[in-house]
Structure 1
Amino acid sequence: MGSTWSSAIYSTGTEEIAQEFHVREDLANLGTSLILIGFGTGPLLWSPLSEIYGRKVPVLVPYFVALCFTFGTGVAADFQTVLVTRFLAGFFGSAPLSITGGVLADMFEPQQRGLALVGYASAVVGGPVLAPVVGSAIVASGIGWRWTQYVTGIYMFVIVTLGALVLHESYAPVLLVTKARRLRLSSGEWAYHAAHEEWHPSLQEMATKFLVRPLQLLGTPVCFLFALHSSFVYSIVYLNLGAFPIVFGQMRGWTQVVASTPFLALSVGIVAGAIFNIQSQNFYLKKVAVNHGKACPEARLPPMMAGAAVLSCGLFLMANTADVRFPWIAPVIGAAMMGFGFFTIFQAALNYLVDTFPAYAASAVAANTFMRSIMASIFPPLTARMYSRLGVMWATNMLGFIALAMVPIPWLFYFYGERIRAKSRTSWDPKGR
């Protein structure tokens, strides 16, 4: 949550940043785009490292570096420093975003993993939803945009400290290495070795087998289509950072803090989506029981099937009730429906990918993170221009039609997913790990 919080809270201070460094506001929004590009490229390194050195170190060390660069943004003396530190904060801060999927695959059976992923997805989606409210309050208080970065850095420092103290390694091959080392020391028998510690990959092997693997997974229909759908909804989250101030601030004349409160409606929808996902767990467990205890990825999809439809309806409602002729509650309800759609689509996509690629869960999540972050990075500098040229109604309606076109994706995999997965060479692990 600290990473995605950092990506969004910056947007509340772009007006002040533009004034202080004498740049246009759309250029100031590049600070949001660059941290998202960092989110997209970082997992290509951190996820493979987590499959070599375990989960804990490749999460906490980059996260600590990310918080240092977050403070670096806060003390930046020029705009170039802001942009560089924002990218590096995203690059290093992407570690928990991509590796956590692998951690949950380590720790939980498929029957339990869906509930665990509710918490993960809530944090990833909740960061950019709650941060604008807090950031607006910080900026409106008069203490300046730099405190949006200081508050974020303090939060991240608390989390990395707690993580260093209480988190344990979860990756089985690395745990076996630790066990073998302990047995060698306690027994004096130096024949005890784990297979993983005998593996010393070369730089070329790491590049071809690990850095390329997330991109290879994107070449499968399963990973590509689910990454495409979650990328679209993730892009809308960051588009709303610029759209909500237009809809509720400029059009309705609300102050900056009040205009940020509709983000709380998104969080209401996220909570409703989380409850819906938890309720759907019973359906999944029944399918697993019929499948002799094996994972059943298609049983993860009913929340996504519902959420895809609700998302498109929420966008259409927001588009056609944004005008001041309509009561404010109408677009706010649309925002809540969008939050429900965000969460159910995002979480079901993660569940489906982890169930489909269990041995390479970290790489599958990295592929998803790469695509959604790169796509989302396009929108922050373009949102104001898009809404001014098309108007709020048509700009949002256009997004609604795109969302409507993606509604069939979960239905397609619900009915034909098993057949599609069977044709994918990478959706199963020949070693049975």
Structure 2
Amino acid sequence: MEPPVPTGHISDMQKITAECMYAAFWPPAATKTLEVVDDGLIDFDGSDDPKFVVTLLYSLCTMGTTWASTIYNSELLQVQDQFHVGNEVALLGMALYLAGNAFGPLLWAPMSEAYGRKPSVLIPIFGLMVFSFASAVAKDLQTLLISRFLGGVFGGAPLSNVGGVLADIWPPTQRGAALLLWGMAVIVGPLLAPVVGGALVVRLPYTGWRWTGYLTGIMLAAILIASVLWIDESFPPVLLARKANKIRLEAKNWAIHSKSQETATSFKEMLRKYSIVPLEMLIDPIAFFINLYAAFLVGSIPFLAMVVGVLFAAAINFWGQAYYRKRFIANGNKIVPEARLVPMITGSFFFSAGLFIMGWIAENYIHWIGFCVGGACVGLGFFTIFQSAVNYLVDTYLMLEASALAANMFMRSILAAAFSLFARALFSNLGLDWGMSLLGFIAVAMIPIPFLFYIFGKRIRAVGKRSKQSFVP
């Protein structure tokens, strides 16, 4: 039961409550202030706006985690030779990292909603750095595999939590562009890492695989130092709780509190809210089908050449952001999650077509440009679908977006981990043509997903157990 508020302090309490609701405590070293824009969204104010720097640093954190994922592929042959194991066993290093990516966000996403974005990203980045060095000095296979799995657990944090950061600091009409920068970081990491790792392995034929771990750890250390120095907390409930705590101590009025501090803090309630909610997102209708579509795409990434397509996809996503802005204004400056799905609708056709093209044009007598066209279509389709999925989940679940993205990451990583183990058997038994066609048929079956949510998404959001908590009519 709350202690009674003295009558003489009613006006002061109202003033303090307003201050807590429309401002947030900022560390003394920072000169930025906060204001509320777009229906209560807390935003940075002032000429020294740090949003771009914060977005860039968090994007680099994400790039570091995806880099750590695929750089391992370049060391497979050396790992097999040094530890005398077959290809399937060596591939466990990749599969276990992805499995760690699946389960890690279920821990780090709730942490971000309980303690803030900054610790829930930077502490895991530190853990990934430690286990990158641990894998580099591994003396036996089991140490390498355990280090890879634990590295994946820590590395999953930026993939689920950075979307929440961008939702905190960017208004809806600008958030799509910010998420696009972050999405590019997600793609750049796994594309560059095998190239750099391959160069290290070639130049250092006996120890190159260890230097892939050293290089990853060094890169993460540099990103971590910069992030600690220039990133501040952004999660409004945590900032408001800090502000309320500060004012409560200064005023010595123990009734002062923020809205988030009214929530029950028993162990049972914390377990339910911060552990069960991400799991519940797996069966929430919107999260399940959008995550399923994204999971299928990510599982196919290692086998697709898509750099050119990603560049075209970026242009489509920018156009999609302009379309969203028009819908946002037309809706009375209220979010319209379904407007985020237009790029996904476009990309779904390119993705399916690209898979079939790559499968049936990969013959020696057919010019290589055909295969590249297929790869570009797949890249375009993948990136538009991935970005639309992230944007749609963030708009739909708002303050629960970290948990929604954790569920997204869980499904994507589980499928990617499994796919990395059976992909060779799939293409060996079916051939590249029918193996890619099988993926193409699955992609075709998923094309209706964005159409259905574009048409019926508003009604589904209004009745979903979690989506209705953030429902905007």
TM-score (norm 1): 0.90
Q: Structure 1 residue 75: deviation in Å?
A: 0.8
Structure 2 equivalent of residue 92 of structure 1: 154
- What one-letter code is carried by the residue in structure 2 that aligns with 1:381? L
Please, which moves more after superposition, 42-51 or 280-289?
280-289
Structure 2 equivalent of residue 314 of structure 1: 354
Q: Verify: 1:228 aligned to 2:228, yes or no.
A: no
Listed as ranges, the gaps of 5+ residues in structure 2 are 1-62
Structure 2 equivalent of residue 259 of structure 1: none
Partners of 2:268 and 2:98 in 1: CA distance: 27
- Given the alignment, which residue of 434, 437, 462 partners 1:422? 462
Structure 1 equivalent of residue 273 of structure 2: 209
Q: What secondary structure sits across from 1:145 in the alignment?
A: helix
Structure 2 equivalent of residue 158 of structure 1: 222
- Given the alignment, which residue of 421, 427, 443 partners 1:387? 427
8 A contact 2:72–2:212 mirrored in 1:
yes
Structure 2 equivalent of residue 258 of structure 1: none
Please, which moves more after superposition, 203-212 or 49-58?
203-212
Please, which moves more after superposition, 279-288 or 135-144?
135-144
- Given the alignment, which residue of 192, 198, 209 partners 1:145? 209
- What one-letter code is carried by the residue in structure 1 that aligns with 2:85? V
Q: 1:183-222 counterparts in 2 under 5 A? A: 183-184=247-248, 192-197=256-261, 201-222=265-286
8 A contact 2:103–2:410 mirrored in 1:
yes
Q: Structure 1 residue 198: deviation in Å?
A: 6.2
- What one-letter code is carried by the residue in structure 2 that aligns with 1:284? Y
Q: Which has the higher contact order (CA 8 A, sep 6+)?
A: 1
Partners of 1:98 and 1:47 in 2: CA distance: 6
8 A contact 1:305–1:410 mirrored in 2:
yes
8 A contact 1:359–1:429 mirrored in 2:
no
- Given the alignment, which residue of 395, 398, 402 partners 2:438? 398
Q: Structure 1 residue 385: deviation in Å?
A: 1.9
Q: 1:108-123 counterparts in 2 under 5 A? A: 108-123=170-185
8 A contact 1:128–1:237 mirrored in 2:
no
Q: 1:388 to 1:13 in 2, by over 3 A?
A: same
- Given the alignment, which residue of 130, 143, 147 partners 1:81? 143
Q: 1:233-244 counterparts in 2 under 5 A? A: 233-238=297-302, 240=303
Structure 2 equivalent of residue 170 of structure 1: 234
The sequence identity of aligned pairs, in percent, is 46
Please, which moves more after superposition, 158-167 or 273-282?
273-282
Partners of 1:133 and 1:51 in 2: CA distance: 36
Q: Structure 1 residue 47: deviation in Å?
A: 0.7
Structure 2 equivalent of residue 352 of structure 1: 392
Superimposed CA distance per residue, residues 142-185 of structure 1 (whole angstroms, 9 cap, x where no aligned partner): 35111111111111111111110000100111112222343355
8 A contact 1:169–1:175 mirrored in 2:
yes
- What one-letter code is carried by the residue in structure 2 that aligns with 1:19? D
Q: Verify: 1:340 aligned to 2:404, yes or no.
A: no
Partners of 2:165 and 2:434 in 1: CA distance: 42
Partners of 1:174 and 1:58 in 2: CA distance: 12
Partners of 1:405 and 1:196 in 2: CA distance: 42
Q: What secondary structure sits across from 2:468 in the alignment?
A: coil
Structure 1 equivalent of residue 417 of structure 2: 377
Aligned length: 408
Please, which moves more after superposition, 220-229 or 333-342?
333-342
Q: Structure 1 residue 201: deviation in Å?
A: 2.4
Q: 1:66 to 1:200 in 2, by over 3 A?
A: farther
Aligned CA RMSD, in angstroms, stands at 1.8
Q: 1:45-60 counterparts in 2 under 5 A? A: 45-60=107-122
Partners of 1:221 and 1:386 in 2: CA distance: 30
Q: 1:63 to 1:422 in 2, by over 3 A?
A: same
8 A contact 2:396–2:471 mirrored in 1:
no
Partners of 1:301 and 1:229 in 2: CA distance: 13
Partners of 1:329 and 1:141 in 2: CA distance: 31
Partners of 1:342 and 1:430 in 2: CA distance: 27
Q: Structure 1 residue 416: deviation in Å?
A: 1.7
Structure 1 equivalent of residue 14 of structure 2: none
Structure 1 equivalent of residue 448 of structure 2: 408
8 A contact 1:176–1:194 mirrored in 2:
yes
Partners of 2:390 and 2:76 in 1: CA distance: 32
Listed as ranges, the gaps of 5+ residues in structure 1 are 245-262
Please, which moves more after superposition, 43-52 or 119-128?
119-128
Q: What secondary structure sits across from 1:168 in the alignment?
A: coil
- Given the alignment, which residue of 120, 129, 143 partners 1:67? 129
Runs of 4+ in 1 over 6 A off after TM superposition: none
8 A contact 2:99–2:149 mirrored in 1:
yes
Q: Structure 1 residue 112: deviation in Å?
A: 1.5
Please, which moves more after superposition, 61-70 or 327-336?
327-336
- What one-letter code is carried by the residue in structure 2 that aligns with 1:157? A
- Given the alignment, which residue of 308, 332, 338 partners 1:292? 332
Q: What secondary structure sits across from 1:382 in the alignment?
A: helix
Q: Verify: 1:102 aligned to 2:164, yes or no.
A: yes
Q: 1:98 to 1:430 in 2, by over 3 A?
A: closer
Q: Structure 1 residue 368: deviation in Å?
A: 0.5
TM-score (norm 2): 0.83
Partners of 1:55 and 1:326 in 2: CA distance: 50
Q: Structure 1 residue 186: deviation in Å?
A: 5.1
Structure 2 equivalent of residue 253 of structure 1: none
